[in-house]
Chains A and B, each alone.
Chain A
């Protein structure tokens, strides 16, 4: 296969949300055929320029975004494509090491203590991975002290907090207070979840509020370019 064909295959595979050979893809018919991960490995073996592959990722996600906006794609389709990019980035990254595009930053996220809701958080994770961030998921029901400890350990640029209950959203304030008490001021905290709002974010001293996963990507991009 020529390099051009190979890159086109990768593009198509991402658009079809076909992760790997075990994945059934867009319509359940693609199991057993090479997916994005295998295709990227193949391209790297054939000495395709990693930067070129990265360009294809971006182009493919743009097309997926367009299909989503047009209503042709549903959220699971977009997530599947974002997951392809997220996973393929893990394969590509060692080959790109040091170039500007891999340095989008690390994002830590948790659902706060007492709260088990994770559907929204998981969507946010997939979308941010797809957008090229290094994402670490601390899981659900995470005590403030554990979050602070994880921030100390991983030194992320961004921390995301999710809460779905009026009884647990106050825990976000506790996390922010404990971060301050620990002298951590260089992590940007953004929050989300149904009962939260921009007002609430301001009140508790967070750096931003996200209505949904797409806004989370936008907010991070904005914070990144501001810094």
Chain B
């Protein structure tokens, strides 16, 4: 855990946050969410929601407001070792960091180079043990899934956690909700557990397979992060304002479902507005300046609601540990922490846009978070911009990378991109975004609409096009730990 001092980035003004909230409510009331699951329909029609013939459910703003009012501001996370338990307080200025992912590949250091292979059960155990050793890792989210048949996944994962973790356990996914009781028995107590559920898949479509899972954990009052992972340019508008409006609507829908089922059940707001790599294969950009800016904006929105905030930071776009990955992680961790996320997921080990996890990167990330803690301790009045630059510089220096003038100006440019808004936040501008979202959800495969409408924003520079930060890493400061891996 680290204390958050310094000045929050405040990239959005109060007026802009109000505008986004109002537009998100309008999305829910007039564009609606596509639902097939009878339980979701029944739960919401009881609140007065209307179901249209086209399969879309229109949610009343009053239900959203009620949900926001009944969601608790504090959440308890117990742990097998009591010293690791904590209470998350939505108004506290502290940040806690955890692992995360569900990466497909594991990257190991072997004879001085990096080797990538499919990840599985043994890697899960190895990573859980590594998480135990890291002082800045406060909670453990499953980093890779067990490579066992689907029917055994939940139990095997629970067993791996029970045997190797003494910190709060975020199992993230639950393949079979009927296994929840068994999972609780295996780990020892439901108070150790939390989950992540993406109820609404972008754009505005309920994932049927998530409903039972969410119901199961909500009914037992187990903390759950309600997630939306929109991608500007493919599953949401490329415009950051448009993407935020849609993403916020998707998260609010999930929170409203939880609170309607079980008022007062613990929920965390988890908005991950990424951008699609429209220069390449359209896979999401997690840590380019445009994405870092949007992750910061989502954190600010969550704080606006005074909800416990599950932030996302530190998922590098790089394929291997390197200087650029350190810079990306330093900038995103600093911005998201200073914007007020109290529970930062995926902060360890993640590379290649969540596709890969590297044990060595866990060690590097621990150093980056330590650097963040020290930077904020040294001076309490830093702006987010100053803090981010200092953390990036200091973290790179710890791995032997001194920034020359070119890299310095690249770092400046990246931070400037994160700080400086490029869009108008007006009712008129948001109305245009609502139009795009509306037509995307009416078309099969809305990504065609979003991709087409992204052309203007692309030419207006909404995606960062700068360089990467280069430099050879010296891993001496983590050498002992590396060897023990």
Given the known inter-chain contacts A116-B207, A119-B235, A119-B282, please indicate yes or no for A79 contacting B448, CB distance below 8 A: yes
Instruction: Collect the chain B residues with CB atoms within 8 Å of residue A126's CB.
Output: 448
Please tell me if the beta carbons of B278 and A80 are within 8 angstroms of each other in the complex. no
Using A123-B282, A166-B104, A167-B150 as known contacts, say yes or no to A76 and B451 having CB atoms under 8 A apart: yes
**Structural contact, A28 and B455, CB atoms closer than 8 A:** yes
B278 in contact with A118 (CB, 8 Å): no
Q: Chain A residues with Cβ under 8 A from B448's Cβ? A: 79, 83, 122, 125-126
Contacts A24-B456, A83-B452, A126-B448 known; A195 to B104 CB distance under 8 Å? yes
Q: How far is the CA of A25 from the CA of B453 in the complex (A)?
A: 9
CB–CB A75/B451 < 8 A: yes
A121 within 8 A of B: yes
Q: A139 on the interface (CB 8 Å rule)?
A: yes
For residue A77, which residue of chain B has the nearest CB?
B455
A116 touching B445 by the CB < 8 A rule? no
Q: Does A212 contact B (CB under 8 A)?
A: yes
CA A177 to CA B201, docked complex, whole Å:
30
Bits for B443-485, please: 1 = Cβ < 8 Å to A, else 0: 0110110011111101100000000000000000000000000
Q: Which residues of A contact B205 (CB under 8 A)?
A: 116
Find out whether the CB atom of B444 lies under 8 angstroms from the CB atom of A141. no
Cα–Cα, bound, A125→B446 (Å)? 12
Rounded to whole angstroms, the CA-CA distance of A194 and B280 in the bound complex is: 15
Could you tell me the distance in whole angstroms from the C-beta of A87 to the nearest C-beta in chain B? 11
Interchain CA distance A141-B34 in the complex, whole Å: 14
Taking CB atoms, residues of chain A closer than 8 Å to B227 are none
Distance in angstroms between the alpha carbons of A119 and B274 in the assembled complex: 14
Query: What's the tally of chain A residues with a CB closer than 8 Å to chain B?
Result: 33
Q: Chain A: interface secondary structure? A: loop
Cβ B208 vs Cβ A141 within 8 A: yes
Question: Are the C-beta atoms of B150 and A119 separated by less than 8 Å?
Answer: no
Chain B CB within 10 Å, residue with most, of A26, A27, A76, A125: A76
Bound Cα distance from A167 to B456, whole angstroms: 37
B235 engages A76 (CB within 8 Å): no
Contact present for B455 and A26 (CB under 8 Å)? yes
Q: In the complex, which of the residues B150, B280, B459 contacts A27, with contact meaning CB atoms closer than 8 Å? A: B459
CB < 8 Å neighbour of A122 from B104, B231, B355, B445? B445
Q: Say yes or no for A17: interface residue by CB 8 A criterion.
A: yes
Asked whether A74 and B278 contact (CB < 8 A) given A28-B456, A83-B452, the answer is: yes
Tell me if A27 and B452 are in contact (CB < 8 A): no
Complex CA–CA separation, A123 to B233 (angstroms): 13
Kindly list chain A residues whose C-beta atoms are within 8 Å of the C-beta of B235.
119
Contact with B along A108-137 (1 / 0, CB 8 A): 000000101011111101100000000001
Does B455 contact A17, Cβ atoms closer than 8 Å? yes
User: Which among B231, B451, B458 is the interface contact of A79 at CB below 8 angstroms?
Assistant: B451
Distance A125 CA – B147 CA, assembled complex (angstroms): 32
Q: Which residues of A contact B455 (CB under 8 A)?
A: 17, 24-28, 76-77, 80
Q: Is the CB of A119 within 8 A of B447?
A: yes
Check: B209 CB closer than 8 A to any chain A CB.
Answer: yes
Q: Which of A125, A167, A194 has the most CB of B within 10 A?
A: A167
Is A23 an interface residue when CB atoms closer than 8 A count as contact?
yes
* Complex Cα gap A172–B448 (Å): 24
Contacts of A80 in B (CB 8 A): 451-452, 455
B278 contact from A75, A83, A121, Cβ within 8 A = A75
- Interface 0/1 of A125-169, CB less than 8 Å to B: 110000000000101010000000000000000000000001100
Contacts of B454 in A (CB 8 A): 76
- Chain B residue contacts of A17, Cβ below 8 A: 452, 455
CA distance A28 to B448 in the complex (A): 16
Q: With a CB–CB cut-off of 8 A, which chain B residues contact A75?
A: 278, 280-282, 451
Contacts of B407 in A (CB 8 A): none
Tell me if B452 and A79 are in contact (CB < 8 A): yes
Whether the Cβ atoms of B209 and A114 lie closer than 8 Å is yes
Is B371 positioned at the interface, with any CB of A under 8 Å from its CB?
no
Complex Cα distance, B447 from A145, in Å, reads 26
Question: A75-B282, A83-B452 are known contacts. Are A167 and B175 too (CB-CB below 8 A)?
Answer: yes
Supply 27 A–B pairs (Cβ within 8 Å), ascending by A.
A17-B452, A24-B453, A25-B455, A28-B455, A75-B278, A75-B280, A76-B233, A76-B452, A79-B451, A79-B452, A80-B451, A83-B448, A83-B452, A114-B209, A116-B201, A116-B205, A118-B447, A119-B235, A122-B447, A122-B448, A123-B451, A125-B445, A139-B444, A141-B208, A166-B147, A194-B104, A195-B104
With A28-B456, A75-B281, A194-B104 known, 9 other A-B pairs at CB within 8 A are A27-B459, A75-B451, A76-B455, A77-B455, A80-B452, A114-B209, A122-B445, A123-B447, A137-B445
Q: What 3 pairs across the A-B complex have the smallest Cβ distances?
A: A28-B456, A122-B445, A76-B451
